[in-house]
Structure 1
């Protein structure tokens, strides 16, 4: 049974501090990728796992974490998440190789899943009055958008200052303080008739996603037709099908597949996944472009993401204020179409473009992200009965994280192929041996940009630099053009699928407190 909270203000403060910390870790890493690449001599696959090793367990365990919180106590699971996240952060700061960093990032991701799965229910239980709860959720949402906006700047300042290890060390005192406050200022809560955790479903989903992403990330290096890669894709297919069968037959499934019988919920879910994959997933490669091709420092690179993050930060609360006056068909579908338009504008970048060529696209895409974050959960909630509100918001959050993980992996395949082909084409008549050209093409495709000039004779450096610059810009353009097309298709689909009027009533229970997370919070 739910217990009355004695310290609602403390609950809000601690949960918001934890959410700020875990979402900051999604954004600060992007501007540190160049330093990580140089310090660990990392290839593109290892850099992709720096992001995906965090988002994969966060996505795969989020629903299970929420269920565990309901059964054994949300404060207990929240505290366990703080412990794991803090230990993982300290371990990341002490990492000695790219592989060790990826492993410790996975530990962070497990802790983040426990925190994210219990944070909003803790706030809902601490504020039983609907009006006060609505205000608390507004603070929660503002915290997440704030983390999105300042993340690249904080990360850039730390990397340029004391070094990249401090983007993880900064979490340690925050995590310890939050843990102390959780122990002494938060009361336990759990609902009646809590669901059982679906461990078979969790294992099937997590293993299937891991096999799929590993196959995508390693495909270029190992060969797409190699036994390992083919085996990974086959295993991923079998595991994902097994997960679907499990969810269709289990008495208490992790994901209620009947949610997708609602066209409105399906449209909202597609929009969340697509924007996270197409736009947020591409930020890894935009960061490498800023750092290794345009030559900016991490802090300067962080500054150049501000048009995207600030546009989202400003648009989200404005959209939330007018959402009840506008059909969700227009807001959900329109948000994806705005993201598509922004990516289409960014696709025009070429070898002669300054970074400012990306600004119009950043602003428009950022507005789309902010609008989506403000309205998509309300639309998905309005499509289901109150008893399934928690499941609906949990699925939306899970799809958001899955989108980021999938986007990083898929875009890596496309970016590496496009950049490598362009470098090979431009250097084919340069006089360099074919083996050297292939090596340079692979390095540029791995995100090294114009840094590859250090490996060639001085007489050829201008030629190689121009080729790498042009190729990297072409890679970004390819990602954005494909992302624009996919997002436009999904945006039109959302306009067709989403049918219900928006529901903004604050009377919904704590589990139906819409995840106020803007899409940009997953950057």
Structure 2
């Protein structure tokens, strides 16, 4: 650690960095074990989606609430409780003997993980206030968070190869114990005497809206998208979201102050925040299935192949900072999103090669990761920097909520496209099978564990078709979001040019 920090400062930063490392690993390492979970726990495709979505939806549920709770009752106290809860729920995940238990445990782990994330941000902001030590602390925190997200796939693959899938979760037990001791000995207690009341109305309306929308997309193929049950679930989602908008409008202390969306840089950056989680991050859940089932790689090889997708996100942020200073975020953020889209289209071509392998996927993976690296830091800096300092915490909360909500929804959407593309190919390749049998085969293939009776060529081509649909959705979707972000940033300039042409 740099000498700019005191000994106690190093202890505090170590606690926060270890906490953020655990949080990042639980997002990026778990996708590499999904094919293993399918085999070991006999999980179907939709259950595998819920293994990821339970975590992200739970994180979204507590993001805004925990900040208020920590301000009122003590940031150190809530941080310690959150770390202990994360360690305990991680142990429950690792000890789960069926997929239903794992999904419930993942939801509980997400609740504690979201609390850990918000508390570590609050602790760092309070503990490091001076220019030099603040820069050093946040710099190290960003590096460690990036390591957790970037190296998660290879860490997860390595753990599975050396031991078993359970240790992807169990390892957080001792890590949480160390983080707890560091936080207990180093962090000073702090409160905000002017902290407002908890926005319960906002919490209890937003969470069901996201959950029901994801449930509708995920379970729609089985229920029938136009069935009474499915439409009722969709109606609850819409009604809950409308209730959320009303609750935030009339609340004296809303967790979402929608007036900040009148600030064009903030709006443009939030679109960019959602766009990254429409394309790059949800695809990370499914890309291991392509490397494992589509290309036949083992866990370690899959993790190594995924480094091409994740490492550029660690390398590009310094360049993004310099570009933002020169060209402004209103140009850099949409440009970074456009680069992600180029990467997805190149990955689609790479997967459609005569003999696809990691080399045919490499250009697209690198370019998509570079686009994410260009976009991510300017988005974060713009969302907090475009509002007054007293609203920075709320702005950061909206940013993280936009990321988690869009991630949860698009995990479901990409899963729908993947299974739909696989099913479309099987319908052509196996015309004699009935619809229920085809769907059963399609779900198995999409999950990375096809039925033994299917020919390898049929499985491979079905996966290639399904992933082609997903990559096309990711590429076109992020390009559309890039255009919306650009307009949000530059609407006044565009309007002025239209009214006063040369």
How high is the TM-score relative to the length of structure 2?
Answer: 0.93
> 2:151, 2:445 → 1: CA distance?
24
Map residues 23-38 of structure 1 onto 2, 5 A cutoff. Answer: 23-38=24-39
Match of 1:471 among 451, 455, 462: 462
Per-residue deviation, residues 16-60 of structure 1 (Å, max 9, x unmatched): 100101110111111100110011211111000110100111112
* Alignment partner, residue 421 of structure 1: 424
* Alignment partner, residue 496 of structure 1: 487
Q: 1:453 to 1:218 in 2, by over 3 A?
A: closer
* Alignment partner, residue 210 of structure 1: 211
> 1:64, 1:291 → 2: CA distance?
39
* Alignment partner, residue 74 of structure 1: 75
> 1:161, 1:219 → 2: CA distance?
38
Quick check: 1:48–1:412 contact (8 Å CA) kept in 2?
Answer: yes
* Alignment partner, residue 130 of structure 1: 131
Moved more, 339-348 or 241-250: 339-348
For structure 2, the residue ranges without an aligned partner over 5 or more in a row are 1-5, 492-502
Quick check: 2:218–2:412 contact (8 Å CA) kept in 1?
Answer: yes
* Alignment partner, residue 325 of structure 2: 324
* Alignment partner, residue 397 of structure 1: 400
* Alignment partner, residue 352 of structure 2: 350
SS of 1:167's equivalent in the other structure is: helix
Moved more, 162-171 or 478-487: 478-487
> 1:445, 1:453 → 2: CA distance?
10
> 1:158, 1:440 → 2: CA distance?
34
Per-residue deviation, residues 364-415 of structure 1 (Å, max 9, x unmatched): 1111111112111222233222221111111111111122111101111111
SS of 1:366's equivalent in the other structure is: helix
Quick check: 1:351–1:469 contact (8 Å CA) kept in 2?
Answer: no
> 2:53, 2:165 → 1: CA distance?
18
> 1:247, 1:284 → 2: CA distance?
32
* Alignment partner, residue 368 of structure 1: 371
Deviation at 1:351, TM superposition (A): 6.8
Matched, 1:166 2:167: yes
Deviation at 1:130, TM superposition (A): 2.3
Moved more, 371-380 or 238-247: 371-380
Matched, 1:434 2:433: yes
* Alignment partner, residue 108 of structure 2: 107
Quick check: 1:58–1:112 contact (8 Å CA) kept in 2?
Answer: yes
Quick check: 1:6–1:187 contact (8 Å CA) kept in 2?
Answer: no
For structure 1, the residue ranges without an aligned partner over 5 or more in a row are 501-523
Quick check: 2:278–2:406 contact (8 Å CA) kept in 1?
Answer: yes
Q: Which has the higher contact order (CA 8 A, sep 6+)?
A: 1
> 2:155, 2:462 → 1: CA distance?
29
How high is the TM-score relative to the length of structure 1?
Answer: 0.89
Per-residue deviation, residues 328-363 of structure 1 (Å, max 9, x unmatched): 111111111111111111122227322322211111
* Alignment partner, residue 450 of structure 2: 452
Quick check: 1:351–1:470 contact (8 Å CA) kept in 2?
Answer: no
* Alignment partner, residue 518 of structure 1: none
Q: 1:450 to 1:197 in 2, by over 3 A?
A: closer
Quick check: 2:15–2:183 contact (8 Å CA) kept in 1?
Answer: yes
> 2:190, 2:459 → 1: CA distance?
56
How many residue pairs align between the two structures?
Answer: 484
CA RMSD in angstroms, aligned pairs only: 1.8
* Alignment partner, residue 236 of structure 1: 237
Deviation at 1:425, TM superposition (A): 0.6
> 2:10, 2:448 → 1: CA distance?
50
* Alignment partner, residue 65 of structure 1: 66
> 1:70, 1:359 → 2: CA distance?
45
> 1:82, 1:109 → 2: CA distance?
12
> 2:444, 2:247 → 1: CA distance?
38
SS of 1:281's equivalent in the other structure is: helix
Deviation at 1:115, TM superposition (A): 0.8
* Alignment partner, residue 246 of structure 1: 247
Quick check: 1:333–1:492 contact (8 Å CA) kept in 2?
Answer: yes
Matched, 1:387 2:390: yes
Matched, 1:481 2:462: no
